[in-house]
Every structure is written in C-alpha cells, then in structure tokens.
Structure 1
Amino acid sequence: MKRIEIMDTTLRDGEQTSSVSFSASEKLTIAKLLLEELKVDRIEIASARVSEGEFQAVKAITEWARESGYLNAVEVLSFVDNGTSIDWIVKAGARVQNLLTKGSLNHLTHQLKKTPNQHFKEIESNIALAEEQGVATNVYLEDWSNGMRNSKEYVFEFLDFLATQPVKRIMLPDTLGILTPSESYEFVKEIKEKYPNSHFDFHTHNDYDLGVSNAIEGLKAGADGLHLTINGMGERAGNAPMASTIAVINDFMPKVEIGVNEKFLYTVSKLVETFSGIIIPANKPVIGANVFTQTAGIHADGDNKKNLYFSELLPERFGRTRKYALGKASGKANIQKNLQELGLQLNDNDLKKVTQRIIELGDKKQVVTKEDLPYIISDVLDSGSYEEKIKVDSYVLTHSKGLKPSTTVALTIEGDAYEANAQGDGQFDAFMNAIRKVFKKKNFILPDLIDYAVRIPPGSRSDALCETIITWKNKETEFKTRGLDSDQTVSAIKATEKMLNIINN
C-alpha cells in the first residue's frame, strides 16, 4: 500500500473564497482540529506578507504547533521576492515555505517578463536563503496544467532544474481548474515516470465540478500527495472538497493508505461553515444535511428488509445518523422508523390516520420533522373523539399597521351555511368575535377561553409545525382542544373548530 499525504489548504486557498476572512482565533481553532482530530498530514495556513492580522494568526498557530509537535506540518505560501517572504515566515515562527513559481511559459513571459534561466536563478537563491534560515522548501508550479498543455518543454526544463535543488515537495496545481480526468492522469503519470524519486503533490480546482475526479486520477497516476479544502472552499468554484475525496479514496482505492480520521469530517465541516459563513448545500455529498435522509417510503421499507438501500457510504462513518423524512412522499415505513426512534407505537388504524395527516401536511410544508411527530399523533387521535357537525369552511384574516385586525369567516353548522365579519385586538380575537356573532344568532353561548398555549418542537425554525392548546371553561367544566398547523393563528382556529364540535355533540 502507498501512503499518501493529505495537505489541507482551507486556511490559505480556502480563505480566498469571496467574502471569507477568518480571525486569528478561528484560524487557530481550525488548525488544531485539522491536525489533532481530523489528522491531516499538513496544513497550509496563510500567504506571507498579507497583513499584520495574518502575521499574528500564523504566530499563534506556530506557537501552538511547536509546543504540540506539529511545527513541520505547518506551511506558509511564499514568493520569489529576494528573501522578504522568508524573513516574514521566520519571524512568524514557521519552518516550511510553499514557494510560488511559474509553471507555464505563458505566465513566466507575460506576467514576470523573464526568461526561464532568470526565473530559475532567483528560485535557487530563494531556496538557499531559506536553508540558511532553517526553512524547508516546497515549490508550487503555478498554472502547471496550462504549462503541460501548451509549454511542456518548459515544464520539464523546470523540473530538471528542481531535481538539482534541496526541495522537499513539488506541487502541481491545476490553477484554473481546466483539466479533465484523463489529462490529470496522463500529465501526472508522465512526470512521475520521469522523476520517480521526487515527491509530487496534486492540487485540483473545481471549476468544471471535476475536482474530486481529477484528484483520484492523479493518485492513480502516482501522485504522492493531494491538496484539499474543507467544504471545497477556494477561489471561484473552489478546490477539491476534503469529505468527498477522502470517502472515495477509502472506498475505491484499496492500494492507497491515508491517515485522515473520516469520523471528524462532519464536525470540522460544520465548524468551518460557521466561521466562514458559507452555507453547506443540503445535497453536498457526505456533509450535506439531506444526504443521509431517506424520503421515499419505499426506501425506508427496503431498509427494514435486509438494508436494501444501504451502500458503503454509511453515515456512522462520518459521525452522523440516517434519518427518514416525513412528508408527502413518505409511507408507513418512514413513520415507523421515526416512531421507533421516539419509542412510540401505534396500532394499524392510528398509523394510517397519522400517515394521511403527514401527507396532507407535506403538501403544505416540504418536510415534517421527527420532533413534529408527537404533536401530529396527539392532534390525529384527539380528532377522533367527536363527530364533526361544525366545519370552518373558509376565512380571511387581515392585519394592517394602524388598523384593527379583522376576520371574515364562513361556517357550516349541521348542513346550514353561515358567514360573519368582525374586528378584534388580534387576528384570533377577530376570528372569535366573528364566531360569537354566528352563535349569537342561534342563541348559543360559547365557553370562556381561560388559557392559550403555543408550542413548537425544540430546535425548530420559523416554518415549524405549531401546536396551539386552548383551555375552555363551560359552566363548571374545563376541557382542552389542540390545533396543529405551520401558522400559529390557523392552529388556534383548528383548536377552536374542535371546541365547537365538542360542545355541540
């Protein structure tokens, strides 16, 4: 088995994501997690000379890394600048530079306006200065992929030169994310066969959504290391994402060994999401919110029958659990899975009622959560305790700034239609006043409302199901009714509709 180095560049290349800037304390926290928990081999944490804040962040990380034995795993991007970057790196306490050089003749000619020999001499001088200061050197060949496409002779001339230098690693970046998987394989293989004793890292970008595929093909071709970022952060479309790449290596490359602890991928991904403000898409492989959620009822049923819908990509590998969504596409199997997790059981008749209610709610609300389930069960079972003689057919609720709320309601009472309009101190108060008008015509007195409680499932969001529990007093008797809806006023109306049927049964 071949041991592959994984270098994380979230704190350098990943921070080049538009609008992202990590604080010094955030960088230190992420660096610790990457090395101590996720166990990547190396981390690239900054670019030299960027700012005083960047300097302080690097200094904090290197101080911790020195005490913890990780200093040689901490790297900083540097430039061919007569030693200015090296001085910055030494003062910041780092001991490894990733020297940015030109990997294509096009970049060299039009950006630096220098010949290959001039560039190589300056690089040689930089490496010598670094050695004098005790700084190890890795070399980036910027725009290497275009170099291989358009100026291959220059690339090999450059590599011949680097073979004479005390360089630890040569890093091959697809800077603009232009390579295809077949090119990634061919280019890396050609280089590795010509320089079998040199260590080559492959650095892929994701502009065509080929970052993971290219990284894997690079490994197949003989690359000795990969550069990845948490959540695929990076310039433009980002870099090859850590989670997906690690999962593919572990599952499909039996001759490759890596040290990354995949159980911490989700934890680190969520922390970086929080610090960066870049939200992880719900369908992002391995770390997305929905990727281990079965929605279709047939899938949940299959999971109950010899795990028919399981693959090697098990959520437990990444510190996650499989979930079964509740909505209009879910069947009894999904609901039973969620009931099992809650420790609840229903008979077949009640299960059918709950399933139907979830389907109805799913038409209005995309996903019903497991936490909603006890409220739905309570609502459904409560609904079967009376005969429905009164129905709230429709209503219009208005609430405008500076005007009293008003409600128009249409009812059916034992087959007869009624309509009324009223104002109130709130929408529900206006609704109750309209109801009182209808029942006053029938010489019927409504019970007093003595308590009104609203609950939503713990940890829910603004679109959560809302349960309203109203306590009524009719002469000497108190009773409660419940209503369930994603709208608070509507849930109260449903609870009131139940009350009307109870007192008229």
Structure 2
Amino acid sequence: MKIKVLDTTLRDGEQTPGVSLTSKEKFRIATKLDEIGIDFIEAGSAITSEGERQSIKEITKQGFNAEILSFSRPLKGDIDFCLECDVDAVNLVVPTSKLHIYEKLKKTPEELIDLSNNAIDYCKDHGLTIEMSAEDASRSNVDFLKSVYMDAIEHGVDRICVCDTVGILTPDTSYNLFNQLSDIKVPISCHCHNDFGLAVANTLSALKGGATEIHTTVNGIGERAGNTSFEECVVSIDRLLPDFSTDIKIDQIYNVSKLVARLTGVYIQPNKAIVGENAFSHESGIHSDGIIKNSATYEPITPELVGRTRKFVLGKHMGTHGLNSRLNELGLKVNETQLQQICDDVKGLADKGKTVTDVDLQIIADNVLEINHEDRIKLDEVTIVSGNKVMPTASVKITIDDEQILNAGVGLGPVDASINAIKSLDIFRDVDLIEYHVDSITGGTDAFIDVIIKLQKGDKVVSARGTEPDIINASVKAYIAGVNRLLRD
C-alpha cells in the first residue's frame, strides 16, 4: 500500500521553542521537501501574521508537485486568510475531546459539530481541499469522534486525521483506535506527538490499523518533545513494513535533515536514529571487524541508503581492523606488530580522557614506524604585554635550524600578536592559517585548552594541535607544529 506523507515542519515544527523561520528559509525547506517527494506540505498557519502569509504565498506560487496546506481553525476568518494565500488545501483542526470542547472552547458537543460542519461548507464553497484533523482525538470518546468524522464526510471533507495531541497513545492503543475507524471511506491520517518517545512506533502501528497517511516533521522537531520524526518513520516504512511504501527519495533524507537543522538551529543529538552523527559510526573492535567483513553484521541499513557515509571512531573500544582501515585511509601501511603497538598507544591516550584525532594518530604512527623527524623550528619562550589601553604585544624566542631568534609582533589580541610575531619571519611567510578552533577539555579556570589549526602552503594542507593550560602557548605550539609538518612534507 502506498502511504502519503504530510510534512508539517513549517507549521508544527516551527512551534519548537526558540525557532522562527524567515520567508526565505521556509521557501528553501519547502523546495527541498518537494524535491524529495513529500505529498503534502503544511506551509504554516495563515492566521498567524502578515509575515507568515507572505511566506505561504511565496511557496504556493511556485507550482510545486506537493499539495500546499495552511493550518486553520473552524472559523471563517482563518479560512479567509488561507484563501488569501492561495493554498490548495486547509488542515482544519477541530477539538474533539471533552477537555478541549468544554474547557478550551466553552462549547457543547453539538455546537462543536455545527462549527465544524459550517467551516467545511465554507471551505468547499471556495474550492478548498480539506483535511479535517480531530485535535486530542486520542483522548476523545470513540463514538463521538466517529460521529464528528461522519458528519464532516457528509459535508464533503476529503481526508480525516487522528491527532495524538499530547502523545499518550501506545503502539497497542494506536492500532486499536485506527482499527475502529478503518471502515471510514475517506483516507485517514495519523498525527502523533512524542511526549513519551513513542511517536514513530505509534505512527507505524496506526498504518497497520488502517491509516493511509502520516504527519511528520524533519528531525522530529515540534512543541515539547516534538512530532513524529520524518526520517525515522519513512525509513522504517521502507525497511520494516513490507506491505507499505512511500514515494520519498530516501537517499536525500540526510541532506534535508541537515538543512532543517542549520536553518532552525535545533541541534540533532549524536545518537539520533538515521541522521545523528553516531548513527553509522563504529568504535568497538568487535563491531568494526564485523562491519569491514560484512556491513550487515552491525548495521540494519547501509549509510548510503540515506545519503550517509560510515565512520570508524578512534578510541579505547576500537580494534585493530577498524584502526588499520583508518591508517590505510591516511596512506600509512603497517605490519601486525606495528598495528598492535599503534592500537595500544591510541587506547592509552583515550584512557586519559583525550579525544583521539587523526593528528594524534599520525603522530603515534610516526613514532611507532620510527619516522622520527627532527623539527626545524622549536619554541623557547613567549612573552605577552596586554591591557585595556595597551595594544597586545608579543615577543617570541624560537630556534630555527639551531639558530636562536627573538622577534616581536602586535595584534588584536594576545594570540593574534603571538602568531604575528612568528609569521613575519622568512620561514613562515608562505604559510596561511585557514582554520583555528579552540576547546576547553577540562573544567575550571585552570582548564586545559585544546587548539586545533589548519595551515596551508601552496597546495599542501595540514592540521596540527597544541594542548596547554595557556591558550597562547597552545596556539603558538600548534602553529609551529603545523609549519614543521609542512616543512617535512
């Protein structure tokens, strides 16, 4: 069975606390959603503001393949704003639980049904497709819920939606609810929230119970704990439910996930399924060995399926197979004895709580392979003068090819001044600093500072690292280490 996907990233997803998308950002996301095969895009809520309406209009005038909807309450004013935006359809949201009807709307059930039917009539009179969403359906009396739906269908509604507004369904109750509604003769969709972490599971159960459409948000963003995760749900349908399928271009999932993360500023946790940075990363030696022999041993899907690549992580749990794979990628060939020694040294570094980078691995491998280079440049001393009314000035004493040199420089800050003090020397002149990154790797005011830099000379690019309690010393040492690497290469 072909399952339709309604994506509400631009409406429900934007209700994530702290998220507010510009018109251009919404347009970029909508364009990508249309490209990857989304059937319905809920572009926003037209009643919200003039800016929101402009955003929706920008999307509706593009002629996307996807049907473009706006959220609407069962009110003439809301619907008029939807019409102004020239949307194809409305997501007409009608509360159906006693809690919402009596406490929020202050109406009777009969008044609620009249309100719903009148809104549907108004929409149909103006040529709109209607998906009627029963808000808080999962806490509604099923007989009453059905009567609301049947009345809506008689008035011409095109699709209906069951909303688990506060995420209280479980896979069993989700299946049972949709099964009870399966005799309804229009398409039924499922809109789940993730308050108990069950949104994807409940959505999959809804499909087995009779739903033919799902509501999702990219990365599962949304109010509180978020909505059904688009990428998790679509890939699960593709791989775990052989009787169902979608038209989504699954190999583009990672791209749209990263786009939404960048534009919304909502961080993707590393261990998130499908799109988290750790989803296809392996450190354990047993796992890495199995993956290299046959990826199916420890991966239910290949990373390429969703536009990803596999990573082997350096750390204390790694084994020699994964390490050797990484060494080969770095162009380093080792025998079994050397490989084991490098593995032991990497684990020793990781045991101290240190993140093991490729730079660390290169240094460890060089030492084990006895490729001991005599550095041409050595740092002897750095002295800084800085203050509120004093331009930061640095003097450095370094040894170049056994000749001791003293030089000075100024800069916007003490680190800049220190680097400038050595950059002006002839041996550094053709070297460009193209990346500079600082991390505090311990807590407190005496924290160790980890400086990672990237340098370029001609077509050669190297990374280097300095770790010190003093950010100035760490920065200068990293810079000199990188230049020594360039000179060796």
Same fold (TM over 0.5): yes
**TM-score of the superposition, structure 2-length normalised?**
0.79
| Distance in 2 separating the partners of 1:212 and 1:69 | 26
Deviation at 1:483, TM superposition (A): 8.6
* Deviation for aligned residue 1:336: 1.0
The alpha-carbon distance between structure 1 residues 461 and 319, as it changes in their structure 2 partners (threshold 3 A), is farther
User: Whole-Å Cα distance in 1 between the matches of residues 164 and 196 of structure 2?
Assistant: 12
| Residue 138 in structure 1 maps to residue 131 in structure 2 | yes
Question: In the superposition, relative to structure 1, how do residues 485 and 34 fare at CA in structure 2: closer, same or farther (>3 Å)?
Answer: same
| Deviation of the 1:48 alpha carbon | 2.1
Shift in Å, 1:42: 0.8
Change (3 A) 1:262 1:367: farther
The SS at the match of 1:257 is: coil
Matching residue of 2:9: 10
Cα shift readout 1:376-405 (whole Å, capped 9, x = no counterpart): 43455467579xxxxxxxxxx9989769xx
SS at the partner of 2:133? strand
- Contact kept in structure 2, 1:455 and 1:468, CA below 8 Å: no
Aligned residues of 2:200 and 2:228 also touching (Cα < 8 A): yes
**Quick one: distance in 2 between partners of 1:360 and 1:172?**
55
Instruction: Write the mapping of 1:187-336 to structure 2, written as runs, cut at 5 A.
Output: 187-193=177-183, 195=184, 197-307=185-295, 309-336=297-324
Aligned residue in 1 for 2:61: 63
Offset, 1:123: 2.0
In 2, the alpha carbon distance for the partners of 1:289 and 1:58 equals 32
Q: Deviations over 1:137-156 (max 9, x none)?
A: 11111110111xxx333212
The structural deviation recorded for 1:281 is: 0.4
| SS, match of residue 93 in structure 1 | coil
> What SS does structure 2 have at the residue aligned with 1:299?
helix
Provide the C-alpha distance between the structure 1 equivalents of 2:464 and 2:14, rounded to a whole number of angstroms. 48
- Contact kept, 8 Å, 1:228 with 1:242, in 2: the verdict is yes
Identity of aligned residues (%): 32
Could you list the runs of 5+ residues in structure 2 that have no partner in the other structure? Answer: 375-381, 406-424, 440-449, 456-462, 482-489
Report the equivalent of 1:178.
168
- Which amino acid in structure 2 is aligned with residue 74 of structure 1? I
Is residue 2:64 matched to residue 1:108?
A: no
SS in structure 2 of the partner of residue 74 of structure 1: strand
Deviation at 1:11, TM superposition (A): 0.4
Q: Distance in 1 between matches of 2:432 and 2:316?
A: 21
| AA partner of residue 154 (structure 1) | F
Structure 1 residues 295, 12: closer, same or farther in 2, change over 3 A? same
Match of 2:68 in 1: 74
Per-residue deviation, 1:128: 1.8
Please tell me whether the aligned partners of residues 379 and 484 of structure 1 are also in contact (alpha carbons under 8 angstroms).
Answer: no
**Structure with greater Cα Rg:** 1
C-alpha offsets along residues 241-273 of structure 1, whole Å, 9 cap, x if unaligned?
Answer: 111111211111000121111111110010100
Paired amino acid for 2:61 = E
- Most deviating of 357-366 and 274-283: 357-366
> Aligned partners of 1:347, 1:328: CA distance in 2, in Å?
20
Cα offsets for 1:407-437 (capped at 9, x unmatched)? xxxxxxxxxxxxxxxxx957x85xx89xxxx
Letter in 2 for 1:4: I
For these two proteins, the number of residue pairs brought into alignment is: 432
> Is the 8 Å Cα contact of residues 371 and 458 (structure 1) preserved in structure 2?
no
Matched, 1:86 2:79: yes
8 Å CA contact 2:366, 2:372 repeated in 1: no
Counterpart of 1:256 in 2: which secondary structure? Answer: coil
- String of CA shifts for 1:279-324, please: whole Å, max 9, x gaps: 1001111100111110112222222334463333211111111110
Match of 2:438 in 1: 462
How far apart, CA to CA, are the structure 2 residues paired with 1:496 and 1:59?
A: 55
Contact 2:5 2:39 in 1 (8 A): yes
Conserved 8 A contact 1:379-1:483: no
